[in-house]
Structure formats: structure tokens, C-alpha cells
Amino acid sequence: MSKALTRRIKELEEEWGKLRSELKERSQAGEDSELTSNPSTHENTDSKPDVNTSSCKKGKKVAKERPFDFSAHPRRHVALRLAYLGWSYQGFAVQDNTDNTVEARLFEALLKTRLIQDRQSSNYHRCGRTDKGVSAFSQVITIDLRSTQFCGGLGISVPEHVDVSIKNKATGSEVPYVKMLNRVLPQDIRILDWSPAAEGFSARFDCKSRTYRYYFPRGSLDVTLMAEAAKRYEGTHDFRNLCKMDVGNGVLQFERTILSASVKPVQPQDISSTGPYDVFIFEIKGLAFLYHQVRCMMALLLLIGQKLEDPELIDKLMDVQSNPRKPQYSMAVDYPLVLHDCHFQGLAWEQDIEEVSHVLSELQQHWTQSTVRSHVLHGMIQGLGAAGGVSSNACCLVEGSKQRNYRPLLERPCCESLESRINHFVKRGRLEREEGENGGETVHRGKKSKHSHSSPSLPVSSEMSSPKQSTDEKAED
Amino acid sequence: MSKALTRRIKELEEEWGKLRSELKERSQAGEDSELTSNPSTHENTDSKPDVNTSSCKKGKKVAKERPFDFSAHPRRHVALRLAYLGWSYQGFAVQDNTDNTVEARLFEALLKTRLIQDRQSSNYHRCGRTDKGVSAFSQVITIDLRSTQFCGGLGISVPEHVDVSIKNKATGSEVPYVKMLNRVLPQDIRILDWSPAAEGFSARFDCKSRTYRYYFPRGSLDVTLMAEAAKRYEGTHDFRNLCKMDVGNGVLQFERTILSASVKPVQPQDISSTGPYDVFIFEIKGLAFLYHQVRCMMALLLLIGQKLEDPELIDKLMDVQSNPRKPQYSMAVDYPLVLHDCHFQGLAWEQDIEEVSHVLSELQQHWTQSTVRSHVLHGMIQGLGAAGGVSSNACCLVEGSKQRNYRPLLERPCCESLESRINHFVKRGRLEREEGENGGETVHRGKKSKHSHSSPSLPVSSEMSSPKQSTDEKAED
């Protein structure tokens, strides 16, 4: 093992050395002023640093920054639709302990292209958060971007002190948001299209529903049983036992509505096809989701598919009267999960066919690499199988199901109940209980909570009518 | 771009820092003596270093090495069959400028398990070399390994001064070569089985034939045309225009025999199936191959499949009288290529079903990850296609075919001819010409060549009868 570490260090050192040199060359070239904290002054974001820098290197200072005057430009409220491969990132949302998030890359791009001045003033909302390793085909954000439309329009605010003649002049087309951003974003994050949005339209609060997909190979799973089990998720249920409760952040009620849940093959196959290498999708559409909810739902389906549990388990876990506490079980792994769609009304997506085609080509190249590798592996698997090898057929998408002595979920130790968690935070002042009318009780964020000014006040007792499903900030998977 | 570099450096620095600490901890633990150049004294290669090292850290010195006495053990000549995924390596063969090769890992494992004393005395031959990025399902090597068989046997040499009583004692089973090596090899290199071999049996010289596979998606390729074109490769032909000539290393004649060449779908599909995402295999079996030969052959097939060239191109390029010099064209990329089989006579592979099953499970897990990712990508491709995206359908497995103005191969500039290359090396003394009988001429390695003592002497003129196909040291792809 240490040998491998030593080797890795050597590789890193070499790589590190090369990167240092490359970085030195570029900064000496003077073309790239990104080492300063000011946004680039280069209007044309396509310019490549000139590597023939003999004249540049000799004492050329970095050009003095001319701050960009955002107040001179119109701004408009827009929705942007993103697709990203989450496998190389630590999640969508910006985090304290790492720079490696999709949002971080997104805001770098928005700043570099000077479409926003800074995050704080950009009126940014996101439809959902995806976790580390989770991808998205339709992540939607709303934000205010720089615009060319001095003539005004939907969601557009024009600067006050602009010359009337400029306002009345025929305005050209809008800033090519999609093209500009895709040029500076990393290849695994892409803007698919954009839409004008009315002022106040929010990706977070105006999202009508969200659809997730979870891809998995059949292996030795009973996919018919899984499909039947999945149907049980449809409807409105309390999902506290099928998520990671986030009471500390004010998520206090766990009823959610699932509009549809299905398990289907990716390609319509022969009904009689039973190949272990066929791939299926668990697709689920809901109004809003709790933290890790989809992966917990998938974990149960995988246990059911392996015949380690019955489909009735689902109904039992959603029966929080009988089962108020969640048994300990692992959720399904992250990489097969995709936020496939976020549905809105009132948006008109403006697609640039050229851009879409470009993204399509990139995806196809990536797919080619991935698929060829799969087939190389498959060829070897076939060869070993022919040689008499027997696979364990264990499902590797959920931890714990490979153990020799499988322990049924309902016999396992349980996690803390919701009540217990609430008490925990009440003690710390982050939640506060209040006597309500009729002897009922409400709980809301306390003064010590960082969101105490906007605390939803929710009844704790389940006999109370369920309030409108909050669009949980840390809700998504 | 620099921002990305700076970020990467930070990541590397963090990673580097962690690795340094981890490495320090382990060496202080004293369990792992690999930092010294002596092989480990630990008999049990399964032992894990003890991480609770409070007693160990306090001044414990690394245990004094007891050198292992190889001369006290029998040795036996064996063949080992390996499978490896070449994607993370700089090729199979050990190189001067990098430690990151399959062979380097293999020899580390052989030394660590004390199956050999050192490479030089191990009588090591390999069937072929695979290049950077190329994988193998059946790479075969022959080597002398430590044995328990004091009673002797096929290919076994017993130490001379061994007590007669030990010799006559019933010997147990042989050292479990496959299991031992797989425990210390990285996961992407696996010994599949081993075979006793007669003294003198060579993986390199006794290989009867080799089979390669190249995996590729249909895209917009005319696979029927490619299959027809592939057949033209069968037979004995001069492949100098379909390889990278390696004259400097003594490869002077380029006739090779292809036993079979085909293009087929990985899964027997409907004949009428025309999906661009169907995957095909170019499978080719030959006695021996030249350097990069298979990838050049594949490159031509891909050009033919794109209708950029006719199948007749193949016959023309193999007609070295008419086309003595190779036109400039890129070979196909590396990652889809697999050395699928090496055929021998006189070997009896001893398979450990448990080991094979273990490898099978590992491959299945890897396949699951790879395939799920492919399907995530495919789902996005489908979504964009439905949105009106049009893919370029360019073939991304060969460089240069995407250019707007495709230049037919036979109209392109050519590389140096064989004659010209020979002259080049004759001038430098690495090759020497000699007058032969009947006015013919032979060329062989000169005194300045590092292999001059074993130089094959070959006629240069193509009218001379073709000698036995040399098993080129740097022959394989």
C-alpha cells in the first residue's frame, strides 16, 4: 500500500511541477489577469493567452483594471436550464470546505463573463440542490443578468439615467447567454437554454414538480416486483423514514406528494428478456423532495428486488404511527441518480440549436468512451463466465445487502424519532415550542437559528392538517 | 484556465500533504519496511499494518532484514495468464521515464511475494507488449517461480544440496500463485490462471497466434462495408503501410499473416437494427503483429465506414510495389483495444474457480459503474435529440476525420520509405549491409546496435523468399 502511496506522491509531484511551470508562463504572459481578484477586463472571452510571450514577458505589467460599470446596463430576470455530470463534484451547492462544486464553477463563469456583478446582488434562486456525485439534466436557476435590452421588456429593468435616445434606439438581440457561459464553463457543466422570467419568478418557489431518474442494471433483481413496489410510493405520504431528517435546518414536516413512480427498462425489450446486463430506470416525479429521499426510496426497492424484503415494507415505513422511527439502512449510491426535469409554468425556453447540437456532440463523445469501456469489461466478464466463473450477483448499489446474514429492516436498531430530534434543538434554542390554540403546539425556528427571521411555524402533531409542502432548501437529493 | 490550474494545484497540495502524513504514519508504525530496498520479511502477505501504533512509534526500529534464501527452494518454469485494464497505465512494458506500467506492478508483486529473487534471474518472457491505454484479457508471460515441489516435476529444478529426506517426503500442493499475486496486485491487474511449463517454453517464441479486439459504436458507420473491407486483411501481406515502422530496433520485414479478420455486433441483433448506439467488435487473429498494426488497420476501417475511403484502399496500401511509402494518417485511439487471447500449445491452465469468481465480481462492479454512467449520458443525449439537437455523428475514434475538407489518403504526403529508414541507420552504424550470394543484399543489426549479438539477418529485397515471421519484441500494439 505504501508503495502505491509513494508512487502517487511522485506522480503528484511531477504533475505539480508541470502545473507550476505552466501557471508561471501564463501569468508572465500578462494576458490573463485572473490571478487578481478583479474580473477580467477582456471583452472578448474567447481570447486565448498568447504563449509566444517573449515580448510580453519582458517587464509587461498586468493591464490596470477598468472596473466594469454594471449600473450602465439593463438587467433582466431570467431562468437558466443547466445540465451537469455530478461525478467529479462535491455537489451542486457552494460549500465552506471545498471549492469543487457546480455552483462555484457557475458563479465563476457568471462573473468572468460579467453577466452579474456579484452573487449577493444577483437575485439568485436554484430549483434544488443535488448532492455529491448526483447529476442533472434539468437543473433550473433564476437570476438577474446583464442585458442589452434598453427598450425594456419582461423582467427587464433599465438604468434610470440613460439617455432617451439610447432607450429609443432599436435594440439588437439579447446577450447570447448560453453561448457565452458554455465557452467558459467546464465541459461537464452546460447551459442548455434560457428563458425570460417575470420579476419575482423563482426557480425555487415556482417549481411545479421535479423528476428524478435512477439507472441500474437488472443483475439478479426481480424488476417486476420492484415496479409493483414503486407504485406504492405514489400519493401523499409521510416520508420521514425514507429520508435523512434535517430538523436542525427547520424541516419539520415530512409529508410529500409523489405524482408518479415507475421502474422500466431503458430500452423497450422483449418481455421475455432476462439478461442481467439490461439496464432499468426508476423514475419518480414529485412536487418536492426531502433530503436523500430518492436514494432511500431506491434503497428499499433494491432490497425488495433482491427478495430480501417484501413490497409491504414500503407501506409499513410510510405508516409513521406504527413506525415512528427509521430503521438503520443505507441509501443507494449516488452516481446513478439524475435530476432529470424541473417543471415550470410561465417560462418560454429559448434554445440555440447550434449550442444544443454542440452539447450533444460532447455528450456523444463522452458516451462513446464510457460505453466502449463497458464493453471491454463485458467482454472479459463473458470470457470468465465461459471459463466457469460464477458471479456473486450481489447488488453493488446499496451497501449492506451483501452480508451473509441479512437483517430485515424492521428488526434493526432505529434512528432518533422526530420528537426526539425536535427536543434536541429546542434545548439548544435553535427551535422553540409555542402553545397554540386548542392546546396544540407549534414549533418554529428559535432565535439561535440562523434562519430565525423566516421560520416556518409548523404544528408537530400529525392530527393537524398538513400545511403546504415547503420547498425545502436542503430538500433535494 | 489559470483559475482551474490554481485550483488544481491547491487540490494537489492538499492531497500531497495528506499523503505525506499518511506515509509518515505508516513508516513510523514500523510494520511496513518497503521504504527500504529489501523485500519484506513478512511471510504473511495478508497482514495489515497495525494502525494503533503508540507502542510502535516510540523508537521502534525497522526489524533487521533476514534475507530470504531462494537457493533453498525449488524453482519451476510456469506460464501466467494476466488480464488488465490498460487505461490507467503507460503501457505494459517497463519504461525508463515512468514507473506507471503493468510490468512494474507485476514485478513489485512478484518480489513482494518472494516468488522471484529479481527480474534478471527470473527467466522472464512476455507474449507481447501492449501500448499505453490498451487492455488485455489474455496476456501471457513465462517465468521461473519459487516452488514447494521438492519432488520435482515438469519444468521444476530442485536445489542440489537438499536433504534426501525432504526430497522424498510427500510434497503438498504448489504455492498458490494466482491467489498470492492477486492479493498484492492493484485491482485492475489480475492473474487469471497459471500453467506448468517445460523448461525452455517461451511466452514470446512459442505463441502460436494472438487475437485482438477493438470495440466501437456504430454511429453513422457503414458496418457492413467495414466487415467486407476487413476480410481483405486475411492472408499474408506486407503491412509496412499499416504500422509504425521500427527499423531502428531491427524490424526489417513487414510481412505478417492474418488468420481471420471480422466486424460483428457484440450482441446478435436484429439484422434490421440500425441504432447508432449499437456496439461492434473488430476482431483480428494473427501469428504476430507489427507495432501499432491493429490500430492502423482499424483506422482504415473507420475511414471506410465513414465512406471517406473505399475498401480498395486496403489492397492498395498492402501493395507495397505500387505504394512503397505510407501516407500520413492517424491510427485509431487506444482505449477500445484489447489483447483478447494468446494461443499456445502444450500448456494446461490451472484455474482456481474461487479466484476466477472473485475477478468476475470485481469486473461486474466496475462494469456497473461504467454502464450506469453510459446510460446517464445516453438519457441526456436522448433528451437533447428530442429537443431538436442534431449530432455531428463524427467518428471520434480517429483523429482527422472530422475536418471539413477530408483529404483522401493516397493524395497525402508520405512518410519515409523502408529503404530510406534503413539507410538512415546504416549511416549511424546501427545497421549494416552485406553483399549476399547472387548479388542480393542482406541487412542486419550493426555493431553499434544494442542487440547486435542477436541480429536477425534479413534480405531487403522483396523478391527474396520471406523468412519466418519474427516475433517482434516491440511488435505488438
Closest CA to B359 of A381, A142, A278: A381
pLDDT of residue A248 exceeding 70, the answer is yes
Residue B9 in contact with partner chain A when CB distance is under 8 A? yes
Based on C-alpha coordinates, what's the Rg of chain B?
26
Catalytic residue among A131, A193, A238, A246: A131
- Which pLDDT band, with edges at 50, 70 and 90, does A152 fall under? confident
Phi, psi of B265, rounded to the nearest 5 degrees: -70, 150
pLDDT in tens, B104-142: 999 999 999 999 999 999 999 999 889 999 999 999 999
Do the Cβ atoms of B384 and A192 come within 8 Å? Answer: yes
Which neighbouring-strand residues pair with B210? B286, B342
Q: Which grid cell sits at A222?
A: 426481480
Rounded to a whole number, what is the distance in Å from the CA of A474 to chain B's nearest CA? 24
Task: Provide mean pLDDT across the span B277-300.
Answer: 95
CA atoms within 13 Å, Cβ hemisphere of B103: 22
Instruction: For residue A456, report the phi and psi dihedrals to the nearest 5 degrees.
Output: -75, 135
Cβ-Cβ pairs closer than 8 A, A with B, add up to 236
The shortest C-alpha distance from A421 to chain B (Å) reads: 35
How far, in Å, CA of A339 to CA of A92, rounded?
A: 11
Digit-coded pLDDT (tens) for B404-425: 788 899 999 999 889 888 888 8
| pLDDT band, residue A70 (cuts 50/70/90) | confident
Choose between A262 and A395: higher pLDDT: A262
Task: Mark yes or no for CB contact B266/A378 under 8 Å.
Answer: yes
A446 pLDDT band (50/70/90 cuts)? confident
**pLDDT tens per residue, range A142-151:** 999 999 998 8
First-to-last alpha carbon distance for chain B, in angstroms, is 35
Instruction: For chain A, positions 398-457, list CB contacts with chain B under 8 A.
Output: none
B114: left (phi over 0), alpha (psi -120 to 50) or beta: left
Do A215 and B379 touch, CB atoms closer than 8 A? yes
A contacts of B277 (beta carbons < 8 Å): 367, 371
CB contact under 8 A, A372 and B216: yes
pLDDT tens track for A376-385: 999 999 999 8
Within A203-251, residue ranges assigned H as helices are: 223-231
pLDDT in the model for residue A429: 84
Residue of B85, B219, B375 lying closest to A266 (CB–CB): B375
Q: Which class for B196: exposed (0-12), middle (13-18), buried (19 or more C-beta within 10 A)?
A: buried
Q: Are A282 and A263 in contact (CB under 8 A)?
A: yes
- Contact assessment for residue B326 and residue B240, using Cβ atoms and an 8 Å cutoff: yes
3-state secondary structure chain B: CHHHHHHHHHHHHHHHHHHHHHHHHHHHHCCCCCCCCCCCCCCCCCCCCCCCCHHHHCCCCCCCCCCCCHHHCCEEEEEEEEEECHHHCCCCCCCCCCCCCHHHHHHHHHHHCCCCCCCCCCCCEECCCCCCCCEEEEEEEEEEEECCCCCCCCCEECCCCCCHHHHHCCCCCCCCHHHHHHHHCCCCEEEEEEEECCCCCCCCCCCCEEEEEEEEECCCCCHHHHHHHHHHHCEEEECHHHCCCCHHHCCCCCEEEEEEEEEEECCCCCCCCCCCCCEEEEEEEECCCCCCHHHHHHHHHHHHHCCCCCCHHHHHHHCCCCCCCCECCCCECCCCEEEEEEECCCCCCECCHHHHHHHHHHHHHHHHHHHHHHHHHHHHHHHHHHCCCCCCCCCCCECCCCCCCCCCHHHCCECCCHHHHHHHHHHCCCEEEEECHHHCEEEEECCCCCCHHHCCCEECCCCCCCCCCCCCCCCCC
SS3 A213: strand
CA–CA min distance A13, chain B (Å): 8
Mean pLDDT of A112-133: 94
**Nearest-5° angle of CA A295, CA A296, CA A300?**
115
Query: Which ipTM value was assigned to this complex?
Result: 0.81
Q: How far is B335 from chain A (nearest CA, A)?
A: 7
Residue labelled with grid coordinates 486496403: B314
What is the distance, to the nearest Å, from the Cα of residue B473 to the centroid of all Cα atoms in its chain? 12
Cβ atoms of B2 and A26 within 8 Å: the answer is yes
Which of the four pLDDT bands, split at 50, 70 and 90, describes residue B304?
very high
- In whole angstroms, what is the distance from residue B471 CA to residue A13 CA? 38
At residue A454, does pLDDT exceed 60?
no
Please compute the mean of the pLDDT values over residues B457-471 and round it to a whole number: 41
DSSP assigned state of A69: -
* B:219-258 residues touching chain A, CB 8 A cutoff: 219
pLDDT at A389 over 90: no
> B193 an active-site residue?
no
* Facing B215 at nearest CB: one of A108, A356, A375: A375
Query: Do the Cβ atoms of A392 and B357 come within 8 Å?
Result: yes
Res B267: pLDDT: 82
**3-state SS class at A28:** helix
Q: Please give the pLDDT value at position A48.
A: 41
Mean pLDDT rounded to a whole number for chain A: 81
> Is the confidence at residue B169, as pLDDT, over 60?
yes
* Average pLDDT over every residue of A77-97: 95
Burial of B347 (0-12, 13-18, 19+ CB in 10 A): buried
The answer for residues whose C-beta is within 8 angstroms of residue B264's C-beta and 6 or more apart is: B227, B280, B281, B283
Q: How far apart are CA B312 and CA B225, in angstroms?
A: 11
Q: Does the pLDDT at position A218 exceed 50? A: yes
Residue type, A470: S
A79 close to A201: Cβ distance less than 8 angstroms: yes
Q: Which three cell numbers stand for residue A364?
A: 456523444
Kindly give, in sequence order, each residue whose CB lies less than 8 Å from that of residue B100, ignoring residues fewer than 6 positions away. Answer: A7, A11, B88, B89, B90
d(CA B182, CA B171): 24
Cα–Cα distance for residue pair B309/B2, rounded to 1 Å: 42
A133: closest CA of chain B, how far (Å): 11
pLDDT, position B475: 40
Output the pLDDT for position B261: 98
Give the residue from A256, A240, A246, A292 showing the smallest Cα distance to A91. A292
Per the CB < 8 A criterion, the answer to whether B414 and B308 are in contact is: no
- In the set B46, B131, B222, B270, the catalytic residue is B131
Interface touch B363/A340, C-beta < 8 Å: no
Nearest C-alpha neighbor of B361 from the set A471, A257, A380, A453: A380
Are the beta carbons of B85 and A7 separated by less than 8 Å? no
Mean pLDDT of chain B: 81
Pairing of strands A337-343, A135-146: parallel
Element (H, E) at A184: helix A177-184
Q: B339 — contact with chain A (CB < 8 Å)?
A: no
Note whether B87 contacts A: Cβ–Cβ < 8 A: yes
In this structure, are residues A278 and A217 in contact, taking their beta carbons and an 8 Å threshold?
Answer: yes
Report residue B88 as a C-alpha cell.
490507467
Distance between CA B337 and CA B296 in Å, rounded? 12
Q: Which residues of A touch B372 (CB under 8 A)?
A: 215-217, 279, 335-336
**Euclidean distance between CA atoms A379 and A376, whole angstroms:** 5
Per-residue pLDDT at A94 exceeds 80: yes
Does the distance separating the beta carbons of A215 and B394 come in below 8 Å? no
